[in-house]
């Protein structure tokens, strides 16, 4: 069994208001995506890393690969119009067999711990379908300009990445999504839509996705400390 990590890096980062995608912003002289890639480079269970990205950033990604010794990066391929398309492109590029595991992780979640990653991989080896998530701890409100109602948070989780599936499950789920023109916000939604169970693995608040200007400020503070 091989374990592949797909790190989609085609996002434009519009919500940060920066001139370049947020995954290429530098923190302490190192691109954000380099921190993320190094997590999988250092993990003893991960065999290969594949990066779907915009063609304009192939040269930069190859430079990052060489600069930081990311020897597990086996392929940088062209991403698709949406994240879902990018992951499917990467999946289609693999010489994987049914029982191989596919990890999908956001390029802009650079603080994933090895403990959570290993726990997710071990759970996926047993169950073949895993999403890392954290339990909701704040009061949940439904409404627009005003509060309409309060929702119970007892069975509510916030999905994170990594999300890990056997190749056969993720490939079948993505093929079904393409056939039905079903847009999923993440891979676990596609897998659930295809009729598979998805097991939960506890994540961490530190494993946040860098999305907004305040997230960038927070990451700067954490990395400086």
Residues 6 or more apart whose CB falls under 8 angstroms from that of 25 comprise 16, 18, 31, 32, 216
φ/ψ of 156, rounded to 5, equals -105, 130
Residues 6 or more apart whose CB falls under 8 angstroms from that of 20 comprise 13
Instruction: List residues bridging with 143 in a β-sheet.
Output: 147
> What integer pLDDT is reported at residue 225 of this predicted model?
82
Tens of pLDDT along the chain (225 residues)? 999 999 999 865 554 456 799 999 999 999 999 999 999 999 999 999 999 999 999 999 999 999 999 999 999 999 998 999 999 999 999 999 999 999 999 999 999 999 999 999 999 999 999 999 999 999 999 999 999 999 999 999 999 999 999 999 999 999 999 999 999 999 999 999 999 999 999 999 999 999 999 999 999 999 988
Residue with the two structure tokens 């930069």: 60
Residue with the two structure tokens 């309409």: 148
The domain that holds 209 is classified in CATH as 3.90.550.10
- Measured N-to-C along each axis, helices 32-42 and 58-67 cross at an angle, to the nearest 10 degrees, of 50
Structural domain boundaries, residue 219:
3-224
> What integer pLDDT is reported at residue 35 of this predicted model?
98
Q: How many domains does one find in the chain?
A: 1
> What integer pLDDT is reported at residue 12 of this predicted model?
57
CA distance linking residue 5 with residue 37, whole number of Å? 9
CA distance linking residue 200 with residue 129, whole number of Å? 9
Query: Structure pTM?
Result: 0.94
Helix, strand, or coil (residue 74): strand
> What integer pLDDT is reported at residue 150 of this predicted model?
94
């Amino acid at each position: 069994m091989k374990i592949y990590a797909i790190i989609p890096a085609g996002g434009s980062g519009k919500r940060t208001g920066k001139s370049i995608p947020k995954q290429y912003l530098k923190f302490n002289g190192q691109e954000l995506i380099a921190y993320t890639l190094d997590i999988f480079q250092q993990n003893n269970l991960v065999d290969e890393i594949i990066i779907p990205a915009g063609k304009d950033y192939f040269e930069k990604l190859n430079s990052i690969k060489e600069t930081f010794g990311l020897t597990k990066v086996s392929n940088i391929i062209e991403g698709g119009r949406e994240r879902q398309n990018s992951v499917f492109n990467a999946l289609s590029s693999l010489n994987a067999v049914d029982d191989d595991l596919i990890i999908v992780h956001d390029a802009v979640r650079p603080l994933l711990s090895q403990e959570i990653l290993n726990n997710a991989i071990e759970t996926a080896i047993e169950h073949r379908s895993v999403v890392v998530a954290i339990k909701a701890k704040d009061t949940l409100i439904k409404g627009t300009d005003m509060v309409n109602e309060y929702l119970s948070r007892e069975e509510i989780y916030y999905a994170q990445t990594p999300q890990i599936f056997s190749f056969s499950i993720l490939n079948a789920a993505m093929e079904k999504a393409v056939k039905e023109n079903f847009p999923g916000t993440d891979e676990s939604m596609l897998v659930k839509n295809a009729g598979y169970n998805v097991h939960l693995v506890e994540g961490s608040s530190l494993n946040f996705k860098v999305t907004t200007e305040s997230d960038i400020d927070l990451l700067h503070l954490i990395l400086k400390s």
